[in-house]
Amino acid sequence: MAGPAILPSRGLQALVDALLARGYRVLGPQVRDGAVVLADLTDIDALPLGVGDEQAPGHYRLREGGAERAFGFAATAQSPKSVLFPPDELLWRGRRTDDGFSVEPASPADDPDHRPVAILGARGCDVAAIAVQDRVLLGREHVDAHYAARRAGAFLVAVTCSDPAGTCFCASVGTGPRPRAGSDLVLTELADPHRYLVEAGTPAGQALLGALDTTPATPDDLAAADELVADATARMGRTMRTDDLPELLNASAESPRWAAIAERCLACTNCTAVCPTCFCTGVQDVGDLTGALDERHRVWDSCFSQPYSYIHGGAVRTWTASRYRQWLTHKLATWTEQFGTSGCVGCGRCITWCPAGIDLTAEVATIRELAEAHDAVAAGAPGGAPTDGGAPTPGGLR
C-alpha cells in the first residue's frame, strides 16, 4: 500500500466527486438549525468552514472556529448510526389476499435513496462506534441483514479530530483523536497552507486515493499531523478512568448514587438516541384503514422507556434509577462481557444532549468514590461514608 499523501485544499472536492462518480451517496458535516449535522454533500463549500462548537453538559452552541478549518468542530449532533442503523426501518409488508395473506420482505428499493453511503468526516469516536455496532449487529449468530447491507456498501472517510469539545473523552477510552483502523481513508486537516494528509486504511481507500491528484507526504507533514493529535489529546474536556469499570459497576448495583441520578434523570431517552452504539429497538406494526396492508417497522427504542422492560405481567425496571443503572452498567461493564468491548467510545454526546446535563464521566467518578468510601468503612478505616451521595438506596431497586 502506498504511503501517506497530501491532498491540496480544493482536492477535497475531487474526493467528493470521485465518490459521487462511483455511485455513493456522500454525507458530510454541515450546519443545520444551529448545530453541525450529517447531511447530503456534493459541494465542499457546504462544509462548516470556520465553524467551531462549544459543548458542555446539556449545552451546545456553534462558535467561530479556525478560519481555514472545514472540520474544526467536535462530534456532530447525531453520529453515523442514524445513517447505518436508521431510526425507522421497514422490515416487511403484509398484504391481505383472497385466500389469506402474503408477506414481502423490505427491499433496497423501499429506500428512496438506496445508493451506498460514503460518510465524510467521521471522527475517531464514530469509527470506533461503527466497529462496536459491527460486533453487535454482525458478529453474532444472527446477523442483522439490514445493517449488514448498508455497512457492506459503506465507504468511510474519517477525519482526525483537531478541536475536541468540553464533553469529549476519546483519549481516555483510546478511540481518538486519531481514528483507529476501520476507515477506508483518514484525513488530517493541516494548515499553512491548508491541505489534507490522506492515509488509506483499506484496499478500497487505496484505490480511491490512487485516483486523486496527490503528492507524497513529507516528514514535515507527518510531524504537523502528530503535533495536531498531541494538541487535541491535551485539550479533551473530560477524562474517564476505565481500567476498573466492569468490577466497579458490577459491585455498585446497590450504590446510593443511582437514586441521586434519578432525581435529575428525565427518562427522556435522548442519551440513548445520540449514543453511537446504543442499538435497542422495538417493532411497530402499521396498518391502513382498509385492513388490506400492514407494515412492520423497526424503530429506535430505549432502555430508559418503561415499556421497553415490559414482560408478561409488568415492567421489570419501574424506577428511573434502575433504568439509568441498567444503561450505564451495560454500556461500561456488561457490554464487555457480552461483546468483548466497551460500549462507550468517548464521544460525549450523551453528556451534551442530556437536557438535564447528566455527565456519565462525573457519575462514574462519584460511584467510584462512594465505593471506595464504602470499602474503607467495611475495612474499619477512619473517614466514614460520604454524606453527599444522595438518597438511600431504595430497597430492592428495580
Partner 1 sequence: MSVDVAPLSTRPAPARGPLEGATPDARPTLAVWKFASCDGCQLTLLNCEAELLALADRVQVAYFPEATRAVVAGPYDVSLVEGSITTAEDAERIQQVRAQSGTLVTIGACATAGGIQALRNLADVGELAAAVYPRPDQLAYLARSTPIASHVTVDVQLYGCPIDRGQLLEVLAAVLAGRAPRLPSGSVCAECKRRGTVCVAVADGLACLGPVTRAGCGALCPAHHRGCYGCFGPQDTPNGRSLATVLGEGGMAAVDVERAFRTFATGAEAFRAATAPPIATGASPTDAAAGHGGRP
Selected from 5, 26, 77, 159, the binder of partner 1 by CB under 8 A is 77
Nearest Cα neighbor of 297 from 154, 142, 94 is 94
Q: Which stretch of DSSP H or E encloses residue 370? A: helix 360-378
Selected from 99, 288, 378, 379, the binder of partner 1 by CB under 8 A is 288
SS3 of residue 389 by DSSP: coil
Task: For residue 336, count CB atoms less than 10 angstroms from its CB and return exposed for 0-12, middle for 13-18, buried for 19 or more.
Answer: middle
Instruction: Tell me the window of 19-27, 28-36, 142-150, 339-347 that interacts with partner 1 (CB under 8 A).
Output: 28-36
Q: Which amino acid is at 46?
A: A
How many amino acids of this chain bind partner 1 (CB under 8 A)? 46
Q: Residues, the chain, total? A: 398
**At CA 124, angle to CA 325 and CA 49, rounded to 5?**
115
CA distances 398 to 299, 306, 319, Å, are: 25, 11, 6
Nearest Cα neighbor of 132 from 80, 95, 209 is 80
Instruction: Tell me the window of 3-11, 101-109, 238-246, 280-288 that interacts with partner 1 (CB under 8 A).
Output: 280-288
Selected from 133, 167, 188, 270, the binder of partner 1 by CB under 8 A is 270
Angstrom distance (rounded) from CA 322 to CA 220: 53
As beta bridge partners, residue 32 has 35
Angstrom distance (rounded) from CA 189 to CA 71: 7
Residue 398 makes contact with partner 1 by CB under 8 A: no
Question: Residues 6 or more apart from 202 whose CB is under 8 A from it?
Answer: 183, 184
Residue 241 makes contact with partner 1 by CB under 8 A: no
Selected from 162, 175, 329, 352, the binder of partner 1 by CB under 8 A is 352
Instruction: Tell me the window of 171-179, 207-215, 284-292, 369-377 that interacts with partner 1 (CB under 8 A).
Output: 284-292
Selected from 14, 22, 59, 394, the binder of partner 1 by CB under 8 A is 59
Selected from 267, 280, 365, 397, the binder of partner 1 by CB under 8 A is 267
Instruction: Tell me the window of 27-35, 67-75, 150-158, 385-393 that interacts with partner 1 (CB under 8 A).
Output: 27-35
Q: Tell me which residues in 166-225 interact with partner 1 (CB under 8 A).
A: none
Selected from 177, 353, 374, 390, the binder of partner 1 by CB under 8 A is 353
Pairing status of strand 155-159 against strand 117-122: parallel
Please, what is the minimum distance in Å from the beta carbon of residue 376 to partner 1? 31
Asked whether the beta carbons of 127 and 75 are under 8 A apart, the reply is: no
Between 160 and 269, name the residue whose CB sits nearer to partner 1. Answer: 269
Nearest Cα neighbor of 305 from 271, 346, 254 is 271
Between 273 and 332, name the residue whose CB sits nearer to partner 1. Answer: 273
Residue 82 makes contact with partner 1 by CB under 8 A: yes
| CB atoms inside a 10 Å sphere around CB 243 | 7
With cell 417493532, the residue in question is: 283
Q: Tell me which residues in 86-145 interact with partner 1 (CB under 8 A).
A: 87-88
Please, what is the minimum distance in Å from the beta carbon of residue 99 to partner 1? 19
Please, what is the minimum distance in Å from the beta carbon of residue 259 to partner 1? 13
Please, what is the minimum distance in Å from the beta carbon of residue 186 to partner 1? 26
Cα 188 versus chain centre, distance = 20
Interacting residues toward partner 1 by CB under 8 A: 32-35, 37, 58-61, 77-78, 82, 87-88, 262-270, 273-274, 284-291, 299-300, 302, 305-307, 320, 352-357
